[in-house]
Structure 1
Amino acid sequence: AMRRLDHLKTEKKGLQEKAGLIPYIPKGASLSGLTEEERIFLGLVDGKKNLQKVFSNCGLGVYKSFEVFNSLQSRGLLGLRKVRVLVVDDQKVWRDVISQMLSQETHFEVVGTAEDGVDALEKLSKLKPDVMTLDLQMPRLDGIKTLYWMMSGGYDILLKSRYNIEIEDTYRCPVVVISAVAKKMAPETLEALMGGATGYITKPSRLLPESLEQQREIIAKTVLMASQVDLIKTRRIRTYNIENKPTPTEGTRKLVCVGASLVGGLTSLMQLVPRLPADLDAAVFVMVDDLYSEDHTKSFAEFLDRHSKIKVECASKPMLLKRGCVYLVPADRAVRFGITKIDKKFHTAFKVFSKRKGGQIDKSFRPLDEMLFAALKCRGLDKRIGVVLAGDGTDGKLGFLEMVKQGEQVFVQDFYSSLNPIKPENVAITGVARVVPLSSMVKNIVLEMGRS
């Protein structure tokens, strides 16, 4: 038993060391005579998913999957490769620093560097990396324009007509923005995410050893997550510019509660909110994990409002619920719903209040769960639905479960369209929610709530 335990520990350690590597089927490999388990395993190998993702999706269990993987690899039917990364920055010192950080990790291979957007687009088609890191402030072609040209797929015409550079074909890959201006909720950051970037990292102001070591861990984690993103998730997000939006009307008794996270969830929100109709017969409350600052929340709300059909605002003061309005709630606030009487009529209202004590937030505070339970307790609401978008963490799991127990509907973003599927998986694993593609989420919300 002890020998078996030691063997299992060795296998687990081996898995952890290889988890971020990408398995592939070598050319010319003979796939005849495979067992059923081997066919299941190889059916998930597409040269993009890392080993950990294949293990978790094949349904064979960790140790059986490791056994199948070792058998296939020993027979030459399966190979492993590192995540190929193209580093783009106009400053050589940062190209060297980022390349060195990634090279220190066992999962990455820096296949090239580029000094501006034009150089990056040219090398994309030649090197075909799995991920590109991109600076935003560069000469000739800045990061935002580079991102938009790559996502459009027509940059071969740009290179030939403006820079006299010919390439054989165009290529797209997930992009992680690494820039000094890529700060939380900054216009440049939101513009990059809207353009299709899968994540962003703020460069440290100084090249100090302690800050670089912390930065290395963040870059490695973000690039590894980006390497698992399907190209369909990295497309440019369609937005709407409507000058004269309908004014939201007071008096709704229907509520949509949306939960997401900063890591992976912002992109989902940017695809969902702009497509919500202005005449949605419900109020929409959005809670984003880790978005604590009221200023950051207001900036994000203003950005979404400029690009959406529906009205978007920050929930910062008590007011009556309005149909056709999206409220963003800072994650350091608790929400309460209730009934108020105005001009001999009863209306459903809400208020928010800070949960900070001495400038700190209680670690046990779960803002999304509190908002969901508050909505369920309110007698002024006739109908509620929950929406779980991409992100990490378990906040909201208990609230959404209770929502289903009380007969309400909960929709979970499917894992394939999630940049970070941890939060949707935590709710879907309970088996009580409906898993739907992000592209169908608005349709499901409208079918449930109707239009005024």
Structure 2
Amino acid sequence: MSVSARCRVLIIDDSALVRQLLTEVLSRDRAIEVIGTASDPVIAREKIKRLDPDVITLDVEMPRMDGLAFLENLMRLRPTPVVMVSSLTSRGAATTLQALSLGAVDFVTKPQMGVADGLERYADEICAKVKGAARAHVRALQRPVTSAVPSVADVPALRFRTSNRLIAIGASAGGTEAIRVVLERMPADAPAIVFTQHIPAGFSKPFAERLDRLSAMSVRQAEDGEAILPGHVYLPPGDRHLAVVRDGAHWRCRSDAGPPVNRHRPSVDVLFHSVARSAGRNAIGVLLTGMGDDGARGLLEMHRVGAATLVQDENSSVVWGMPGSAFRLGAAQQVLPLHGIAARLLELAAPQPDAA
């Protein structure tokens, strides 16, 4: 899609009401053109061939064909940016996370009550995510292959026992898969990681559980006041900020429902600014793929206090918004492809020879 062209969107949803409301909401944005709607994937397949949309919005649960099966076929045969429309249920959350692993760029939640009012409130978010998806780098879905990356079993046990590093990571669009790639390459005894992903309440718990199954580290939702320990990854509970505070020689999690920052709660900037204050040069900051600029100024503050700072490169990012903003601010010491970030983190976190 050219920079000056309108984003051409196809809406796929079995609810006539949602199709109508999404059409109205998206059409108000002059940068978006709704070129068609479909009530199920079977109808959608013909419209995709005929209309060639820039972005598709896709209901997670669809009749006549499983939405995930449709998405998998689409991403294998005709990669197209997809924004999922998901219900705030346990089943909807699990399905949405699976959709993101299949290549969906982002998702918006479908209100369970007061659908019309809910979509009106989310109008800005929906339009921003659709326009961001139009700029996303989508790639053909590949069948699973054996990874050439060494397994965590190859990393010496207790290698990081004397490391006093704290790793802080932020992400948004594309980040659910990016953080999986990073965590799968971290050993069980790696330094503690605090991580903020733009994700709504109701999705954070299944997201943490999914990462915990895939990582040798222990991944959990942070509880307010709990100690931050090596070998653990802490995510904010849905719709709450996560910050790090110092308690003597230790760090603790601080979780609160303060006002949104950069339109987000949780906000990456909230996390990064707190890490800069509490951990200083002992911290490592990483900004992964994501829309907008949340986290860029916080990463710059981490850089100013002596922390090591990394951002994901444009080629491997789904959306180079957040890492690109940090790079332009001069906040990034290194720009790395996604598959190189974990190795660099382990190098930076390794204890020095004279460490106690």
Same fold (TM over 0.5): yes
- Structure 2 residue aligned with 1:166: none
Q: Contact conserved, 2:196 with 2:242, CA < 8 A, in 1?
A: no
What does 1:241-320 align with in structure 2 at a 5 Å threshold? Answer: 252-261=163-172, 265-273=175-183, 275-279=184-188, 281-288=190-197, 297-316=204-223, 317-319=225-227
The change in CA–CA distance for 1:178 and 1:392 in structure 2 (over 3 A counts) is closer
- Structure 2 residue aligned with 1:426: 325
CA shift for structure 1 position 250: 6.4
- Structure 2 residue aligned with 1:386: 285
- Structure 1 residue aligned with 2:340: 440
CA shift for structure 1 position 411: 0.5
CA shift for structure 1 position 373: 1.8
Render the CA deviation track for 1:267-288: whole Å, top value 9, x for unaligned.
4334433x32324642222134
Render the CA deviation track for 1:120-166: whole Å, top value 9, x for unaligned.
33443343221111112222212122112222x2xxxxxxxxxxxxx
Matched, 1:328 2:235: yes
- Structure 2 residue aligned with 1:167: none
Question: Match for 1:437: what amino acid?
Answer: P
Could you say what secondary structure the match of 1:439 adopts? helix
Could you say what secondary structure the match of 1:231 adopts? coil
Matched, 1:375 2:286: no
Question: Match for 1:286: what amino acid?
Answer: F
Instruction: Tell me the TM-score normalised to structure 1 length.
Output: 0.61
In structure 2, distance between residues paired with 1:87 and 1:216: 15
In structure 2, distance between residues paired with 1:259 and 1:417: 16
In structure 1, distance between residues paired with 2:144 and 2:245: 33
- The one of 53, 76, 91 equivalent to 2:15 is 91
Q: Contact conserved, 1:99 with 1:110, CA < 8 A, in 2?
A: yes
- Structure 2 residue aligned with 1:132: 56
Matched, 1:195 2:125: no
The change in CA–CA distance for 1:406 and 1:264 in structure 2 (over 3 A counts) is same
The change in CA–CA distance for 1:271 and 1:121 in structure 2 (over 3 A counts) is farther
Question: Match for 2:67: what amino acid?
Answer: G
Could you say what secondary structure the match of 1:400 adopts? helix
Could you say what secondary structure the match of 1:429 adopts? helix
Choose 1 or 2 for highest CA Rg. 1
In structure 1, distance between residues paired with 2:283 and 2:143: 28
Render the CA deviation track for 1:170-200: whole Å, top value 9, x for unaligned.
3220111124357899222222222221121
- Structure 2 residue aligned with 1:82: 6
RMSD: 3.8
CA shift for structure 1 position 376: 1.5
In structure 1, distance between residues paired with 2:135 and 2:182: 22
- Structure 1 residue aligned with 2:252: 351
Render the CA deviation track for 1:92-144: whole Å, top value 9, x for unaligned.
34334433443444333333333322333344334322111111222221212
- Structure 2 residue aligned with 1:64: none
Q: Number of residue pairs matched?
A: 332
The change in CA–CA distance for 1:87 and 1:182 in structure 2 (over 3 A counts) is farther
In structure 2, distance between residues paired with 1:277 and 1:239: 20
Q: Contact conserved, 1:195 with 1:237, CA < 8 A, in 2?
A: no
Could you say what secondary structure the match of 2:274 adopts? helix
In structure 1, distance between residues paired with 2:129 and 2:10: 14
Instruction: Tell me the TM-score normalised to structure 2 length.
Output: 0.76
Gaps of 5+ in 1: 1-47, 52-80, 154-169, 340-347, 378-382
- Structure 2 residue aligned with 1:222: 129
In structure 1, distance between residues paired with 2:197 and 2:17: 35
CA shift for structure 1 position 374: 0.4
Gaps of 5+ in 2: 147-151, 263-268, 352-356
- The one of 91, 97, 114 equivalent to 2:38 is 114
The change in CA–CA distance for 1:367 and 1:142 in structure 2 (over 3 A counts) is same
In structure 2, distance between residues paired with 1:353 and 1:237: 40
Question: Match for 2:279: what amino acid?
Answer: A
CA shift for structure 1 position 402: 4.5
Q: Contact conserved, 1:280 with 1:446, CA < 8 A, in 2?
A: no
Greater relative contact order (Cα 8 A, min sep 6): structure 1 or 2?
2
Question: Match for 2:99: what amino acid?
Answer: A
Question: Match for 1:301: what amino acid?
Answer: A
- Structure 2 residue aligned with 1:50: 3
In structure 1, distance between residues paired with 2:124 and 2:17: 19
Question: Match for 1:282: what amino acid?
Answer: P
The change in CA–CA distance for 1:184 and 1:329 in structure 2 (over 3 A counts) is farther
Q: Contact conserved, 1:280 with 1:449, CA < 8 A, in 2?
A: no
Question: Match for 1:269: what amino acid?
Answer: I
In structure 2, distance between residues paired with 1:327 and 1:131: 33
In structure 2, distance between residues paired with 1:408 and 1:104: 43
CA shift for structure 1 position 206: 5.6
CA shift for structure 1 position 204: 3.5
Question: Match for 2:275: what amino acid?
Answer: M
CA shift for structure 1 position 215: 4.2
In structure 1, distance between residues paired with 2:98 and 2:145: 11
Structure with greater helix share of residues: 1
In structure 2, distance between residues paired with 1:320 and 1:110: 47
